Amino acid sequence: MATTEKIEKDDVEAAALELPTIDAVTEARLSVQQKPLSRKASLSAYFTIAAAAFGLISDGYQNNLMTMSNVVFKKLYPKEYTSDVSTRVSNSLLVGAIIGQIVVGLICDRVGRKVALVGTTLFIVIGAILGTAAHGAHGSVHGLFWFLTFARGITGIGVGGEYPASSTSASEAANEKMIGQRGPVFIMVTNFVLSFGGPLAVSVFLIVLSAAGEDHLPTVWRVCFGIGVILPLTVFYFRMRMLSPKLYREGAIKRRVPYYLVMKRYWKAMIGTCGAWFLYDFVTFPNGVFSGTIISSVIHNGDIKSTAEWQLLLGAIALPGVFVGALLCNPLGRRNTMIVGFSGYLVFGLIIGCAYEKITKIIPLFVIFYGLMQSFGNLGPGDMLGLVSAESYPTPIRGTCYGISAAIGKTGAAVGTQAFTPIQNNLGKKWTFIIAAICGVTGILVTYFFVPDMTGVDLADEDRKFMVYLRENGWEGEVGDDDDAAEFNDEDSLSEDGVKK
């Protein structure tokens, strides 16, 4: 879309309610899109939502795969699998995720949602295959863990890319088909499946362990890694069937993106989504990755099966928070729900941290409080961060801003994972929970002052306001994406030259 006409002040209010002036090419494209849809186009939004769910469940599995693998590696290689090696292998996924979130976030906006989604799936599959087949040269244990570090990094690029690719597509598709329930639907196909990946990974581990036995631990961890190859393959059908969401087709800016104007308008929201995500992942990721190690140290005998069973209970207690957050996000609002979740970190972090020596002597009580802390994390920032990051920015830069916010979050996860062991060794294990409480207070403040609340707002409204803002600041460029035009309309009523009859 290109025009040199300046929008008059009197027209700004009207322009906020309807699309700004467009050129003949864009007008023709929009007129075609207003005509009867093909069956594929009418179902595409549902395929997109399903694709997000199927894709992100593999992310949840990969995020939690090292929870019990860390326990197994410590048992198999007590001398070689030091805290430094454990941190390096765990952090490699995070480093890859940061790269994937930023790069794929840009690809989402500049190339297209579908290309980004298919690419992330391929990275996860390749990384999972390499991880399953990992070996060191001449049987070297150190070589094995360097190989795993590389493989997990490749997997991480795909896992990280899923965040902006799946989440932006799901939010736009949900806005198109069920705007009033956009928040709950988005949560169920994103954070629910991500959170479900924890219990799923532990359940798979317990099944494989029961089948193979504790005498075959190398087989156990390789089978668990191998199952991580199968999960993302289930998503290909949905992703090949989907088309770009309507919001993206009408609002994409693929060239001459005015990033300076974007930051000038959305700097406050960026501080909110980036800062809150950093704090959330700083707490939740190391507590997820190393929760198996924490429980193993609490039950004293270090039995792998018992550790896995307590870990499964921990994941089960944490999961209901996702549903509560989905129920609260509309009546309570996104911002307030996030504040409630961060408050849970404050309350339960202080309870566990201040009474650590006593509470760890009663294992069920410790696991329940630990699970409740994680459940409040799911209820608040876990559910809301992806949602507000998808809702706070307009369609042309949604993937980019979402990817940056998620990448800052994963940076927090990497910092937290790196600091986890030194905090335990130098300050004591209780301080991991006290610091979680401190992060809870900080998260409340960041959320209150910087996170916008877009509860119930049509995403197209912000798109229109953004276009008016760009025109007022002299930007000229093309808007829209024609890549799916041939498949979008009812093909049966097309004439030979491709124009609707």
pLDDT at 261: 93
Where on the phi/psi map is residue 184: left (φ > 0), alpha (ψ -120 to 50), or beta? alpha
pTM, full prediction:
0.82
Encode the chain (501 residues) as per-residue pLDDT tens digits: 433 333 344 444 444 444 444 444 444 444 434 444 556 666 777 878 888 887 888 888 888 888 778 888 988 888 888 878 888 888 898 889 999 999 999 998 888 888 888 889 899 999 999 999 998 888 888 899 999 999 999 999 999 998 888 888 889 888 888 888 898 999 998 888 888 887 888 889 889 988 988 888 889 999 999 998 888 887 777 777 777 788 888 888 888 888 999 999 999 999 999 999 999 999 887 776 556 666 666 666 666 777 777 777 777 888 889 999 999 999 999 999 999 999 999 999 999 888 888 887 887 888 888 888 889 999 999 999 999 999 999 999 999 999 999 999 989 988 887 887 787 778 877 888 899 999 999 999 999 999 998 888 889 999 999 999 999 998 887 887 766 555 555 444 333 343 444
3-state class (DSSP) for residue 82: coil
Residue 309 DSSP symbol: H
Is 453 exposed, middle or buried (CB count within 10 Å of its CB: 0-12, 13-18, 19+)? middle
Whole-number Cα distances in Å, 8 to 467, 472, 479: 14, 9, 21
Q: How far apart are CA 84 and CA 70, in angstroms?
A: 12
At position 113, the amino acid (one-letter code) is R
As given in the structure block, the two tokens for residue 73 are 């590696």
pLDDT at 319: 85
- 427-433: long-range contacts at Cβ-Cβ below 8 A with a sequence spacing of 24 or more? 428/356, 429/294, 429/297, 429/356, 430/352, 430/353, 430/354, 430/356, 430/357, 431/353, 432/286, 432/287, 432/353, 433/348, 433/349, 433/350, 433/352, 433/353, 433/356, 433/373
Beta bridge partners, 401, equal none
pLDDT at 2: 38
pLDDT at 340: 95
**Of 324, 331, 475, which Cα lies nearest the Cα of 394?**
475
pLDDT at 427: 83
pLDDT at 324: 94
As given in the structure block, the two tokens for residue 500 are 């609707």
pLDDT at 332: 93
Q: Could you state, in order of their start, the residue ranges of all structural domains in the chain?
A: 43-244+265-478
pLDDT at 33: 43
Of the chain, the end-to-end C-alpha distance in Å amounts to: 25
Q: How far apart are CA 396 and CA 257, in angstroms?
A: 8
As given in the structure block, the two tokens for residue 479 are 């808007």
Q: How far apart are CA 363 and CA 229, in angstroms?
A: 34
Is 211 within 8 Å of 37 (Cβ atoms)? no
Is 131 exposed, middle or buried (CB count within 10 Å of its CB: 0-12, 13-18, 19+)? buried
* Topology classification of domain 43-244+265-478: Growth Hormone; Chain: A; (1.20.1250)
